Amino acid sequence: MQETCNTKKFNELFSKLSNSSADEQREKIEEMNELMEEMGEEEFKSVFTKEWFNEIDKMIEEKTLSWENAILLLKHVGYCQTLKCFYDFAFKYSFLSDRFQEMIIEEKMMIEEKDEKLLVDLCECYLLLNRWPSSEMSSIIAPCILKVALKKEENEETQKEVEMALLALSNIPTFDKLDKELYLNEIKEIIKYQQEHHNLTRIAYQSAWEFLIKRFYWDKSLEEVIVNEVHFEREAIRELEELAKWMNWKKKEEEMSKKEAKEVLIIGRWLHALGIFFRLFRLWKEEFAELIGSVAHVCRAARENNKEISNWCICSFRDATENGNVRVEDLLKGRAIDVVLEEIHRQTLNEGRTNECFQFFMNVSRKLKQKNKDEREEEERKSMKKKVFEKMEEEGYEDIFISFQKTNMFYFDDAVFIYL
Q: How many CB atoms lie within 10 A of CB 297?
A: 18
The pLDDT value given to residue 27: 96
pLDDT of residue 77: 97
Q: What's the rounded mean pLDDT across residues 364-382?
A: 79
Return the pLDDT at 417: 43
C-alpha to C-alpha distance for 213 and 215, rounded to whole angstroms: 5
- Is the pLDDT assigned to residue 79 strictly greater than 90? yes
* Distances in whole angstroms, Cα of residue 191 to Cα of each of 166, 168, 194, 228: 11, 16, 5, 13
* 419: pLDDT strictly greater than 70: no
Place 409 in a pLDDT band, splitting at 50, 70 and 90: very low
The confidence score (pLDDT) of residue 399 equals 62
Closest CA to 91 of 82, 83, 186: 82
- On the question of pLDDT at 130 being above 60, the answer is yes
The length of the chain in residues reads 420
**Is residue 262 within 8 Å of residue 243, measured between CB atoms?**
no
112 pLDDT more than 70: no
Q: What are the Cα distances from residue 37, in Å, to 9, 30, 76, 131, 385?
A: 13, 11, 9, 19, 48
The C-alpha atoms of residue 85 and residue 269 are separated, in whole angstroms, by: 9
Q: How far apart are CA 80 and CA 3, in angstroms?
A: 20
- DSSP state, 113? S
Of 241 and 285, the structure prediction assigns the larger pLDDT to 241
Higher pLDDT, residue 133 or 96: 96
Predicted TM-score (pTM) of the model is 0.89
Least confident of 107-111, 288-292, 345-349: 345-349
Q: What is the mean pLDDT of residues 275-297?
A: 89
Rounded Cα distance between 210 and 377, Å, is 35
- Inter-axis angle of helices 258-280 and 307-321, nearest 10: 10
Amino acid letter at 355? Answer: N
Alpha-carbon gap, residue 214 to 22, rounded angstroms: 40
- Residue of 137, 202, 209 lying closest to 170 (CA atoms): 209
CB contact at 8 A, 121 and 99: no
Closest residue by Cα to residue 166 from 118, 116, 202: 202
- The pLDDT of 285-295, averaged and rounded, is 88
Q: What's the rounded Cα separation, in Å, for the pair 306 and 271?
A: 14
Q: Which residues contact 116 (CB under 8 A, 6 or more apart)?
A: none
282 Cβ contact partners less than 8 Å away, ≥ 6 residues apart: 220, 223, 323, 325
- Is 135 in a helix, a strand, or coil? helix
- Answer whether residue 158 shows pLDDT above 50: yes
Which comes out higher in pLDDT, residue 366 or 150?
150
pLDDT of residue 119: 92
pLDDT for 253: 72
How much is the pLDDT for 357? 85
Which carries the bigger pLDDT value, residue 99 or residue 85? 99
- What is the mean predicted confidence (pLDDT) over 3-11? 87
Q: How far apart are CA 257 and CA 277, in angstroms?
A: 30
Rounded to an integer, the average pLDDT of 408-415 is: 43
- Whole-angstrom CA distances from 5 to 11, 82, 306 are 10, 23, 25
Report the pLDDT averaged over residues 53-70. 96
Q: Does position 347 have pLDDT exceeding 60, yes or no?
A: no
| Residue 128 pLDDT grade (very low, low, confident, very high; cuts 50, 70, 90) | very high
Helix axes 67-83, 116-129, angle to 10 degrees: 40
Instruction: Report whether 361 contacts 319 (CB < 8 A).
Output: no
**What are the backbone dihedrals phi and psi of residue 49, each rounded to the nearest 5 degrees, phi first?**
-95, 175
How far is residue 268's CA from residue 45's CA, in Å, rounded to a whole number? Answer: 20
Average pLDDT taken over every residue of the chain: 87
pLDDT of residue 412: 44
- Least confident range from 73-87, 298-312, 331-345, 384-398: namely 384-398
* pLDDT score recorded for residue 135: 86
Contacts of 274 (CB under 8 A, 6+ apart): 236, 291, 295, 316, 319
43 and 6 Cβ atoms separated by less than 8 Å: yes
Residue range 237-253: average pLDDT?
84
Q: What is the pLDDT of residue 286?
A: 76
The confidence band for 414, taking pLDDT boundaries of 50, 70 and 90, is very low
> Each residue of 177-234: pLDDT tens digit?
899 999 999 999 999 999 999 999 999 999 999 999 999 988 999 999 999 999 999 9
